[in-house]
């Protein structure tokens, strides 16, 4: 089966990122490896991943290897200053499941948006009573270099399509 809309796709890959500043590109450095022990599964066409990522995988079959780069514009774009906010520390209390160690600069806070979807914010600075948080995607401003292999392609079940995500061993358990 070829990768197409509404198929479940399993990948192994190494993701490297690079940044271009003043027309000089940094050497790509590895930020994530998904191997046979921890493959990445997603519902093609409903993944929320960059459109170009899915476009470059479309039509591939199980066992095929891939290697491509997404530019900043094709990936997550540039940082949006409007997504950097000061929020009161009181919103991140023990009652909400946060602890002091979680609120240290540089950490990513696991959060939920108003619709209950998981998101994260990076703590840029502890301002005493407030935290300066960056809600931009962690990969904004980077070119993304993928090298990997398609390890599975199958039809999504009706339940997976209804819920919009993969179920079972490599997905969410509902």
pLDDT tens, position by position, 76-109 = 999 999 999 999 999 998 888 898 899 999 999 9
Query: How high is the pLDDT of residue 170?
Result: 67
Query: How high is the pLDDT of residue 142?
Result: 95
82: DSSP letter: G
From the list 59, 67, 44, 47, the residue with the least C-alpha distance to 1 is 59
**In this model, does residue 167 exceed pLDDT 90?**
no
89 vs 70: CA distance, rounded Å? 36
What are φ and ψ of residue 163, in 5° steps? -90, -20
Q: How confident is the model at residue 4 (pLDDT cuts 50, 70, 90)?
A: very high
Half-sphere exposure of 141 (CA within 13 A, CB side): 10
Mean pLDDT of 27-31: 91
Mean pLDDT for all residues in the chain: 91
Domain architecture of the chain: domains with CATH: 7-77+140-163 (3.10.50.40), 81-134 (2.40.10.330)
Query: How high is the pLDDT of residue 173?
Result: 47
């Amino acid at each position: 089966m070829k990768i197409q809309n509404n198929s479940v796709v399993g990948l192994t890959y190494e993701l490297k990122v690079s940044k271009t500043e003043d027309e000089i590109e940094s050497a790509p450095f590895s930020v994530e490896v998904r191997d046979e022990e921890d493959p990445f599964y997603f519902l093609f066409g409903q993944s929320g991943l960059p459109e170009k990522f899915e476009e470059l995988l479309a039509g591939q079959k199980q066992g095929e290897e891939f290697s491509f780069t997404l530019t900043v514009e094709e990936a997550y774009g540039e940082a949006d200053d409007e997504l950097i906010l000061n929020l009161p520390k009181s919103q991140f209390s023990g009652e909400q499941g946060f602890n002091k160690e979680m609120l240290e600069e540089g950490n990513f806070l696991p959060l939920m948006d108003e619709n209950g979807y998981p998101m994260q914010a990076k703590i840029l600075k502890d301002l005493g009573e407030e935290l300066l948080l960056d809600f931009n995607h962690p990969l904004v401003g980077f070119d993304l270099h993928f090298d990997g292999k398609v390890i599975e392609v199958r039809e999504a079940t009706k339940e997976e399509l209804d819920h919009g995500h993969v179920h079972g061993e490599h997905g969410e358990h509902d």
